[in-house]
Chain A
Amino acid sequence: MSLMRQFRRYPAVKLQEHRRFVVAGRHVGWVVPEFAAALARFPHVFHVDEHSVTLQPRLVDFDSRSEAVAEVLAQLRREGAVPGWRNELYAIAQGFHEPPLLQMERAATVLFGTLSYGVNLNGYVGREWAMKLWIARRSATKPVDPNLLDLVVGGGQPVGISPWENLMKECREEAGIPETIARRARPAGLITLLVRIEGHMRVGLQFNYDLELPADFTPDNVDGEVSEFMLLPVGDLIDLLKSPKSAADEFSYDVALVQLDFLIRHGFVGPEDPDYLDLIANLRRPIPWEKVAPQGTS
């Protein structure tokens, strides 16, 4: 099967079935329909119409917006409408380097369909076709994708910490990579995500890093999120991505795309693959924000 399979594991996202989340005149999310209906119950915070969920313009700054949204989310959480609460705040803006318009609980960002960020590490040993990649199996207790295959290190990008600092922290916590080794990691670009999985809208931008690990290094999970680590030859990785032998051989959606990007950047997949240009296009689709017409002044 073709590597394009990875982009077809979930049905294509129908953005027109979602409502634009608009803050301060900027489109910053695609709200899932059921959640928009729940937000309509809080008209002092959200104005909901058939196309948009607009944060009330009387909320003029970062603090007032964050506070008002937090109150609504606390209420909805009590009702069970915000599953998987993380106690982790994500910054909301149109792009990574723009001043955040508000911050909100991570578990809600997949309901608002806002842009979230992650850092990922491709950890490998050996060169050329003798290369092997360290991969992890997610523990059975993870809320998202339990038991699926994962990168040796990867994590969401919270507020208040740079991608590099976050990577160093995750290297320590997830794989026990000492900082002396982790510091050799190199940024290698980004990919974008747009997928809806079980009612969760994932609009993502993933910062990817490569790290050649010493041959005698073995990762060691510290935070309990990984059940095992293994070394996978690069040829086997390509086979798994094309067609897994069983459901247990499947990678998380975003992880598979990070690895596809790695395989392309390192020349393991080249122009002789008939889907080469499609693979490249799909790895970096534009962030789907639209221009918002200014509100009438009447």
Chain B
Amino acid sequence: MSLLDRIEACHRHDLARFRPFLVAGERLGYVRHDLAEQFGRFPSVFTAHSDALSVKEHLAQFDSRTAAIDSVARELLDRGIVTGWRNELFPVAVRYGAPPLFDLERALVPVLGVKAYGVHVNGYVRDGEKIRLWVGRRSDDRPIEPGKLDHLVAGGLPSHISPFDNLMKEAAEEASVPKELARRARPAGAISYRMELGGHLRDDTLFAYDLELPAEFVPQNRDGEIASFALMPLDEVERILATTERFKFNVGLVVIDFMIRMGHLTPERDDYCDLALALAKGSN
């Protein structure tokens, strides 16, 4: 196992298992063939062709489209085809920042394989030349990746909130980071990946932020999503990432990018170029 394996695991998918999900002639996602047929049972909202699942053209407005898709989603929830309802809306758009074509309940995001965005914060402490990273352990009752290691602050990006505002909100809820500290977080790039997870296609972009914290700051979780925090030397983070699967599957992407940007990994490593280019693969 290696750092490169962690990245490549996040790019693993076979589009042959999916068909494009179209809205207004634009591909917005990929849906598994058998699930496309389930959506096709609601012909007033969806049309399932063998090569695509599309939303009916008469649903031409944001509001009508959002309501119609939501009603089908709730029906699929009742039938047990969709699980893990979150009561959280994610915007679905042709590209980041474009006006959304509709809002979608978060549980449906991977089912339709539409693009989702998240914010991940590398919270770190400088100790002379050394860098230590705050790492959280996810609670055992989390629906996704319970007990796995995670960032100090991380979360999906819902509708109507900017990455930075979402970061401020999550920093307070997840780690009790005071506002005046959280405000110092700086954007540092974005990492995209497309992988099969639980039979669905996840097509995500993570906005990476760096937040240098004072040595005396200790995070505390408020929303019950993180069981404990630890401040780990980057060497140890690297070792855990390279040799175990203890980190949540996508956290490694942002942490390896951080280790490259901070000069923890250097061009003298045999896999330096492979790591940097593998991180960029999902953006291209």
Which residues of A does B touch, CB under 8 Å?
95-97, 162-164, 186-190, 192, 205, 207, 209-210, 264-267, 269-272, 274, 276-277, 280-281, 283-287
Question: Which of A97, A267, A274 contacts B271, CB < 8 Å?
Answer: A97
Instruction: Kindly state the separation between the CA atoms of A209 and B268 in the bound complex, as whole angstroms.
Output: 13
* Extra inter-chain contacts (13) besides given A162-B268, A267-B210, A284-B284, CB under 8 Å: A97-B273, A188-B263, A190-B267, A205-B273, A271-B207, A272-B164, A277-B283, A280-B189, A280-B283, A281-B280, A281-B284, A284-B279, A284-B283
Instruction: Kindly state the separation between the CA atoms of A291 and B118 in the bound complex, as whole angstroms.
Output: 35
What B residues does A280 contact at CB under 8 A?
Answer: 189-190, 280, 283
State whether A190 touches B162 (Cβ < 8 A): no
Known: A97-B271, A281-B284, A284-B277. A187 touches B266 (CB 8 A): yes
State whether B189 touches A264 (Cβ < 8 A): yes
Which residues of B does A touch, CB under 8 Å?
95-97, 162-164, 186-190, 192, 205, 207, 209-210, 260-263, 265-268, 270-274, 276-277, 279-281, 283-284
Interface centre among A95, A264, A272, A280 (most CB of B within 10 A): A280
Instruction: Kindly state the separation between the CA atoms of A205 and B209 in the bound complex, as whole angstroms.
Output: 25
Instruction: Kindly state the separation between the CA atoms of A162 and B189 in the bound complex, as whole angstroms.
Output: 27
Known: A189-B261, A207-B267, A284-B280. A95 touches B96 (CB 8 A): no
Known: A267-B188, A284-B284. A190 touches B266 (CB 8 A): no
Known: A164-B266, A189-B260, A190-B267. A265 touches B188 (CB 8 A): yes
Instruction: Kindly state the separation between the CA atoms of A203 and B273 in the bound complex, as whole angstroms.
Output: 14
Question: Which of A186, A192, A271 contacts B187, CB < 8 Å?
Answer: A271
For residue B266, which residue of chain A has the nearest CB? A187
State whether B267 touches A271 (Cβ < 8 A): no
What B residues does A97 contact at CB under 8 A?
Answer: 270-274
State whether B190 touches A285 (Cβ < 8 A): no
The 8 A-B residue pairs whose C-beta atoms are closest, nearest first, are A267-B186, A186-B263, A284-B280, A270-B187, A281-B283, A163-B267, A267-B187, A271-B163
Question: Which of B163, B186, B280 contacts A266, CB < 8 Å?
Answer: B186
Please count the residue pairs between chain A and chain B whose beta carbons lie under 8 angstroms apart in the complex.
98
State whether B96 touches A277 (Cβ < 8 A): yes
Closest CB in chain A relative to B83 CB, distance in Å: 31
Closest CB in chain A relative to B158 CB, distance in Å: 15
Main secondary structure of the interface of A (DSSP, over half): mixed
Closest CB in chain A relative to B227 CB, distance in Å: 30
Main secondary structure of the interface of B (DSSP, over half): mixed
What A residues does B210 contact at CB under 8 A?
Answer: 267
Instruction: Kindly state the separation between the CA atoms of A285 and B282 in the bound complex, as whole angstroms.
Output: 10
What A residues does B266 contact at CB under 8 A?
Answer: 164, 187
What B residues does A266 contact at CB under 8 A?
Answer: 186, 188
What A residues does B280 contact at CB under 8 A?
Answer: 280-281, 283-286
Question: Which of A96, A210, A265, A286 contacts B284, CB < 8 Å?
Answer: A286
Question: Which of B186, B209, B268, B284 contacts A164, CB < 8 Å?
Answer: B268
What A residues does B187 contact at CB under 8 A?
Answer: 264, 267, 269-271
What A residues does B272 contact at CB under 8 A?
Answer: 96-97, 190
State whether A96 touches B273 (Cβ < 8 A): yes
Instruction: Kindly state the separation between the CA atoms of A265 and B210 in the bound complex, as whole angstroms.
Output: 9
Instruction: Kindly state the separation between the CA atoms of A131 and B272 in the bound complex, as whole angstroms.
Output: 29
Instruction: Kindly state the separation between the CA atoms of A95 and B272 in the bound complex, as whole angstroms.
Output: 11
Closest CB in chain A relative to B199 CB, distance in Å: 27
Closest CB in chain B relative to A263 CB, distance in Å: 10
What B residues does A286 contact at CB under 8 A?
Answer: 277, 280-281, 284
Interchain residue pairs with CB less than 8 A apart (26): A95-B273, A96-B273, A97-B271, A162-B267, A162-B268, A164-B266, A190-B276, A205-B273, A264-B187, A267-B188, A267-B210, A269-B187, A271-B96, A271-B162, A271-B163, A272-B162, A272-B164, A277-B95, A277-B192, A280-B190, A281-B280, A281-B284, A284-B276, A284-B280, A284-B283, A285-B284
What A residues does B279 contact at CB under 8 A?
Answer: 284
State whether A186 touches B262 (Cβ < 8 A): yes
What A residues does B284 contact at CB under 8 A?
Answer: 281, 284-286
